[in-house]
């Protein structure tokens, strides 16, 4: 009867592990925040361990899982070899665990963890770049995907060399390269990927049309220029170039925020569901992070810089990811369990396929936690920071349970049939 093409949707069992692992690591990362002292410098191995727990275990693994579904959708061609995703997550998972153990307890494990993470990312990059090679319609999203993946490749190679320096005694100046590693991975990959995808996803979920795209094109060009300038300035030891690169990246994010505002103004869908509220909080946090960053550049106060990073990471990146999980997971579950029933019986709508109460609790606890802990970091009041983290742990717990709820939606019904 109703035949369905599966070219654009990889198998559910292939992608589900990415979201399960990502949610567990998000919860673990919030718990680990309790053992962090917010006044520790960013060179501290405890902080480095936490950053890799959060960035690899949560951010990267969720992005990779989401990309398995989103890449074919946004570039309009099927994956080069989607089966590679079956091996990406186990290698990434073991590599991440070894790296975190390496940073926190046994530094000799770092190179092994780093090698496994590098391997999993190269597999991901291989499939992505080979897929992009087949694209005929070169849109801004395609360009951001190419640039982001090239930056990721460079970033992880730099990171791997750094793990060799820590765990195997290779002689490089880690403190000099750390900034570039962070810029390549966070700015060059994570933020650039978000820029590219948001041009598709924000109008799609907000039903926005007819907006000018000049701002996002400028954001893309400036981000690429800023990241490349930072990399070359690091290579030739040019400190002023690194500062200029950071300023260019700031301006790029400014143009990006303006683009998000332009899309928001013309959106036809005004209902504020969990996705919309997560986007409001995420972009609000990005604005706060930008303002704090500018203030920290003027006054050179470390607590202001740390709170800017906090709002960027825990406010912006986290909420953009968690907000989209309430869209992506129901779609994948719907596609797997309900799309074959279309035309035969009533099938649920996507907005019926996430737990609204639990999602509300997750949002309120997480948002409050981010704000309170962020203020705690800013005014150097540790008790406030730990209080905020406790709320954040509650939010992450609700997120974990919500992900389980969404993944199991309709499962019993299918088994009974």
Binding-residue pattern over the window 40 to 79 for other proteins, x denoting contact by CB under 8 A? -----------------------------xx--xx-x---
Asked if 204 touches other proteins (CB under 8 A), the answer is: yes
Q: What residues numbered 121-160 form the site for other proteins, per CB under 8 A?
A: 141
Contact 253, 196 (CB under 8 A): no
Q: In the bound complex, what is the minimum distance in angstroms from residue 15's beta carbon to other proteins?
A: 13
Nearer to other proteins, 74 or 191 (CB): 74
**Part in contact with other proteins (CB under 8 A); list of ranges 4-12, 14-22, 93-101, 111-119:** 4-12
Q: In the bound complex, what is the minimum distance in angstroms from residue 211's beta carbon to other proteins?
A: 11
C-alpha 132/C-alpha 125 separation (Å) is 10
**Part in contact with other proteins (CB under 8 A); list of ranges 95-103, 212-220, 298-306, 345-353:** 345-353
Burial of residue 133, with CB atoms counted within 10 A of its CB: 0-12 exposed, 13-18 middle, 19 or more buried: exposed
Nearer to other proteins, 109 or 333 (CB): 333
Interface residue with other proteins among 97, 244, 294, 347 (CB under 8 A) is 347
3-state secondary structure (DSSP) of residue 253 = helix
Candidates 131, 120, 75; CA nearest to 93 is: 120
Asked if 2 touches other proteins (CB under 8 A), the answer is: yes
Asked if 343 touches other proteins (CB under 8 A), the answer is: yes
Contact 101, 46 (CB under 8 A): no
Contact 29, 51 (CB under 8 A): no
Contact 117, 95 (CB under 8 A): yes
Asked if 8 touches other proteins (CB under 8 A), the answer is: yes
Ordered alpha helix ranges (H), 183-301: 192-206, 214-236, 239-265, 274-299
Candidates 56, 47, 1, 2; CA nearest to 24 is: 56
Asked if 171 touches other proteins (CB under 8 A), the answer is: no
C-alpha 195/C-alpha 320 separation (Å) is 11
Interface residue with other proteins among 41, 271, 344, 345 (CB under 8 A) is 271
Asked if 209 touches other proteins (CB under 8 A), the answer is: yes
Cα Rg of the chain, angstroms = 21
Q: In the bound complex, what is the minimum distance in angstroms from residue 129's beta carbon to other proteins?
A: 20
Interface residue with other proteins among 250, 264, 280, 331 (CB under 8 A) is 331
Nearer to other proteins, 203 or 284 (CB): 203
Query: What residues have CB less than 8 Å from 198, skipping those under 6 apart?
Result: 260, 263
What phi, psi does 267 have (nearest 5°)?
-70, 135
Contact 321, 59 (CB under 8 A): yes
Q: In the bound complex, what is the minimum distance in angstroms from residue 339's beta carbon to other proteins?
A: 6
**Part in contact with other proteins (CB under 8 A); list of ranges 19-27, 257-265, 332-340, 400-408:** 332-340
3-state secondary structure (DSSP) of residue 208 = strand
Candidates 25, 69, 74, 23; CA nearest to 49 is: 25
Q: Which residues pair with 267 in a beta bridge?
A: 208
Asked if 1 touches other proteins (CB under 8 A), the answer is: yes
Binding-residue pattern over the window 250 to 269 for other proteins, x denoting contact by CB under 8 A? ------------------xx
Interface residue with other proteins among 284, 348, 387, 410 (CB under 8 A) is 348
Interacting residues toward other proteins by CB under 8 A: 1-5, 7-9, 69-70, 73-74, 76, 141, 200, 203-205, 207, 209-210, 268-271, 331, 334, 338-339, 342-343, 347-351
């Amino acid at each position: 009867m109703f035949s369905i093409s599966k070219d654009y949707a990889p198998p559910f069992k292939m992608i589900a592990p990415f979201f399960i692992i990502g949610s567990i690591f998000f919860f673990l990362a919030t718990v680990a925040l309790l053992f962090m002292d917010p006044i520790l410098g960013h060179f501290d191995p405890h902080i480095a361990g936490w950053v890799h727990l959060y960035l690899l275990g949560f951010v990267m693994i969720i992005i990779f899982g989401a990309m398995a579904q989103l890449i074919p959708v946004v570039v309009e061609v099927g994956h080069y070899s989607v089966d590679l995703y079956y091996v990406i997550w186990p290698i990434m998972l073991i590599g991440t665990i070894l790296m975190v153990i390496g940073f926190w307890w046994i530094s000799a494990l770092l190179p092994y963890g780093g090698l496994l993470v590098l391997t999993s990312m190269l597999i991901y990059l291989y499939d992505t770049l080979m897929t992009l090679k087949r694209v005929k319609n070169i849109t801004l999203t395609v360009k951001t995907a190419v640039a982001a993946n090239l930056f990721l490749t460079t970033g992880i190679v730099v990171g791997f060399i750094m793990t060799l320096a820590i765990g195997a005694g290779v002689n490089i100046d880690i403190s000099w390269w750390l900034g570039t590693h962070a810029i390549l991975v966070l700015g060059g990959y994570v933020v650039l990927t978000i820029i590219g995808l948001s041009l598709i996803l924000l109008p799609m979920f907000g039903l926005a049309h007819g907006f000018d795209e000049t701002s996002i094109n400028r954001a893309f060009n400036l981000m690429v220029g800023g990241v490349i300038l930072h990399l070359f300035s690091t290579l030739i030891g040019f400190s002023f170039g690194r500062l200029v690169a950071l300023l260019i990246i700031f301006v790029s994010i400014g143009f990006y925020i303006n683009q998000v505002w332009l899309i928001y103004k013309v959106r036809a869908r005004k209902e504020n569901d969990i996705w919309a509220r997560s986007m409001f909080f995420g972009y609000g946090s990005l604005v706060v992070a930008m303002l704090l960053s500018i203030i920290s550049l003027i006054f050179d106060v470390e607590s202001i810089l740390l709170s800017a990073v906090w709002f960027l990471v825990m406010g912006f990146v986290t909420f953009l990811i968690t907000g989209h999980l309430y869209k992506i997971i129901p779609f994948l579950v719907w596609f797997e369990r309900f799309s074959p029933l279309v035309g035969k019986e009533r099938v649920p709508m996507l907005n019926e396929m996430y737990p609204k109460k639990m999602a509300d609790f997750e949002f309120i606890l997480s948002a409050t936690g981010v704000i309170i802990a962020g203020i705690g970091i800013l005014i150097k009041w540790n008790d406030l920071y730990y209080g905020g983290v406790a709320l954040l742990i509650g939010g992450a717990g609700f997120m974990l349970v919500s992900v389980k709820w969404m993944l199991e939606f309709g499962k019993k019904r299918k088994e009974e049939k």
